[in-house]
Amino acid sequence: MSLHSSLPHNIRQNLTNLTGTLFISNKTRDCGDAFNNIPVNETVSSLPLQMALYFNAIFFPFWWVSEVVMIHLKYNMLPGYYQWLLLAAVIIITVTESIRLCLGYMGNLEEKLPELAGFWLLSFVIQLPIILFLLTDESIIILPLERGMNIIYSIFLVFELVLGFRALREMTNHLTKRFYLQQFQEPEYPQRHKRSQETGIPFGSGSIFLV
């Protein structure tokens, strides 16, 4: 798992602390004997999440074009504050979606926990509420094409939130296991070497069977 992150240090630290708080349910019991035989180099990237991100990236330009066309058709029929709300919603979604997809790709493929946490938070805090507003507020004169595209978009978001939550939990647990193995098993090596000297069996070959 790649531990290097392109995010600023303070944001990376806050996201890491948040995911550690949310996804590690029992910090004392999780450091027990269950970590002894864990393959720390296993891949924990989520294939379903990556597929969802891929199709989301293909779908988004079609959503954006249809939304701009629908706003152009109904713009003069809307009150002034709804005109500004729709324009602001499309701008925020466009900017956030670019950042969100980049963080999702980087966090999942490169197994970077802060980026994946940022992707999940942007999906839940910004994108989903705005899409639900565009999908449910009848005062903005929802057109049939607009409703259909927003339904598909909301399905993508819900699906990615569920898969992203599972990927975050697995990645956080895997990172915790790696930390445990590095911190608590490496100090055992000098003791094993000392034991090999006492028994006369060279450490690193046959002594492995005595561990």
SS3 content of the chain, % helix, strand, coil (to 5): 80, 0, 20
Q: Where are the domains of the chain?
A: 45-168
C-alpha 62/C-alpha 1 separation (Å) is 34
User: Mean pLDDT throughout 90-99?
Assistant: 95
Q: How far is CA 80 from CA 10, 87, 88, 135, in A?
A: 40, 11, 12, 19
Which of the two residues, 3 and 167, has the higher pLDDT score? 167
- Residue 185: phi, psi to the nearest 5? -100, -30
In terms of Cβ atoms closer than 10 Å to its own Cβ (0-12, 13-18, 19+), residue 142 is: middle
User: Mean pLDDT throughout 122-147?
Assistant: 92
pLDDT at 172: 84
Q: Is residue 135 predicted with pLDDT exceeding 70?
A: yes
Which of 13-22, 143-152, 185-194 is predicted least confidently? 185-194
pLDDT at 20: 56
Q: For the chain, how far is it from start to end, CA to CA, in angstroms? A: 27
State percent of the chain over pLDDT 90. Answer: 44
The whole-model pTM stands at 0.69
Nearest to 2 by CA among 105, 116, 111: 111
Could you tell me the pLDDT band of residue 45, with boundaries at 50, 70 and 90?
Answer: confident
Tally of CB atoms within 10 A around 183: 10
Nearest to 128 by CA among 163, 159, 166, 158: 158
C-alpha 143/C-alpha 154 separation (Å) is 16
Q: Is residue 164 predicted with pLDDT exceeding 50?
A: yes
